[in-house]
Amino acid sequence: MKEKNYVIAMDQGTTSSRCILFDRQGKVCSVVQKEFPQIYPQPGWVEHNPMEILSTQMGVTMEAMQKIDARPDEIAAIGITNQRETTVVWDAATGAPICNAIVWQCRRTADRIERLRRDGWAETIQRRTGLIPDAYFSASKLAWILDNIPGARKRAERGELRFGTVDSWLIWNLTGGKVHATDYTNASRTMLFDIHQLCWDQEILDYFHIPHSILPQVCPSSHRYGTTEKFGGSIPITASAGDQQAALFGQCGFDPGDVKSTYGTGGFLLMNTGSDAVQSTKGLLTTIAASVGGPVSYAVEGSIFVAGAAIQWLRDELRLLRDAPQSERYCTAVEDAHGVYVVPAFAGLGAPYWEPYARGTILGLTRGVSKEHFVRAVVESLAYQTNDLLLAMKEESGLPITSLKVDGGASANNFLMQFQADLSNIRLERPQCIETTALGAAYLAGLSAGYWKDLDEIRANWGREREFLPSISEAKRDALIKGWNRAVRCALAWARED
Ligand code: ADP
């Protein structure tokens, strides 16, 4: 038999499908990415065509293999990581989707969630699923499909339909319809899964009138799901994990207290809390972390709606920047933000504030404020928002946070990283490989397939590209944070004023 040289990570994201082939050192050997269309049938609605998700993911995988002439018998395993919560329903006999996938961003079921709150279910949902009820999660999307697609409910009750998040949809197709499964991390984002008992919650299913037969089997993230024959030979599929949990794993966040912070379009902070499912009172979510064998690990998660998107706004709408990296030069051209604070609450504020009606707010303008100061204030807002989440996590988990592993596009900004270290009084570590989501999926798959022996072997692969250490006084830090808190209060006041 040929030596197994690679592990494939299929990284199925919201705007593109990607495939990366990694070697034993966790090095990227081949990468291919393809965007696919976003469908906006009505304001606030977002859909994907499941066949486009599938065809782009299959296409980039074949191309990534071809690019380096990797044959199927050189591939140890496939790991899948995916956009979470997005909901697909298909016919069990034909495999044909019965409608477009409803994407996590889609707000069409917001009123259904309001009804759920009025029905008094919010507390039960949070206790059992770890989630604060919201239209983001799959439950109300699946219920919408069953209620609105003609004949869907009857067919579901007859056992003719299958539901899945994008990982399930891919696994079903890769295995030629043999396997209908998902993993704990994806299941924990459906709002139908009891994260403590590790099973679908019958009462929540009943509340949404969802028949059990439509649901996938739930397995650990690192698990032999099946084999695929779609790439010219047999390749085992040995992992599935939601994107943020995969990224935590790819950053070697295996132990309680390990935290990763992603600075992408949005921002995501995840902290491993080990066997302890910390229930939040500050609007953080409790979720299942990706792990290998043994009992599951939990994580707390906080998200920032607008992180790198604020830099895009500077570039595309305000046209103050040519490109995102240029922001760093403006930031370092001045000593500070000259007292300016920007709260980029374009889509409301998430944890720990949860105010959907908050809006972007600019404060502290004086005659001397320059473009450089303004750009700097926007970049600083990414760090302030992250700091708010860090403080909430520290308080709720009771775990000390000594270092933060960073990734995502905006983590390339050295000014931002240093400002974060200063503000949060924390050591920041930026890895050599910032493809942490795909890497996490590859690690989970490779561990299950025996390509990597254990977590220590993987830890040895993690290389630090750069470290950022706090370097400002406590008084300065306090003053900065005080100003930010004032600015947030103004953004919140704007929301509540009639
Ligand atoms: P996603 O995976 O969410 O699409 P990425 O991780 O690719 O996002 O990050 C892209 C985001 O990072 C964009 O919003 C972009 O504005 C921002 N970004 C990229 N480079 C920089 C930089 N040097 N400084 C600040 N922001 C940046």
- 334-388 pLDDT, tens digit per residue, is 999 999 999 999 888 888 998 878 889 999 999 999 999 999 999 999 999 999 9
Ligand 1 atom having least distance to the Cα of 409: 9
The closest residue, in CA terms, to atom 7 on ligand 1 is 409
Contact assessment for residue 222 and residue 208, using Cβ atoms and an 8 Å cutoff = no
Measured from the Cα of 325, ligand 1's closest atom is 23
Q: Is 410 in the pocket of ligand 1 (CB under 6 A)?
A: yes
Atom of ligand 1 nearest to the CA of 326: 23
Q: Is 267 in the pocket of ligand 1 (CB under 6 A)?
A: no
Rounded distance from Cα 263 to ligand 1 centre (Å): 7
Q: Is 286 in the pocket of ligand 1 (CB under 6 A)?
A: no
pLDDT of residue 2: 61
Which residues, given as ranges, of the chain have pLDDT below 70?
Answer: 1-2, 497-498
* 198 Cα: distance to centroid of ligand 1 (angstroms): 35
Is residue 449 within 8 A of residue 304, CB to CB? The reply is no
Q: Which atom belonging to ligand 1 lies closest to the Cα atom of 379?
A: 25
With b for 16 or more beta-carbon neighbours within 10 A and e for fewer, the 383-408 pattern comes to bbbbbbbbebbbebbebebeebbbbb
Cis peptide upstream of residue 133 (ω within 30 degrees of 0) = no
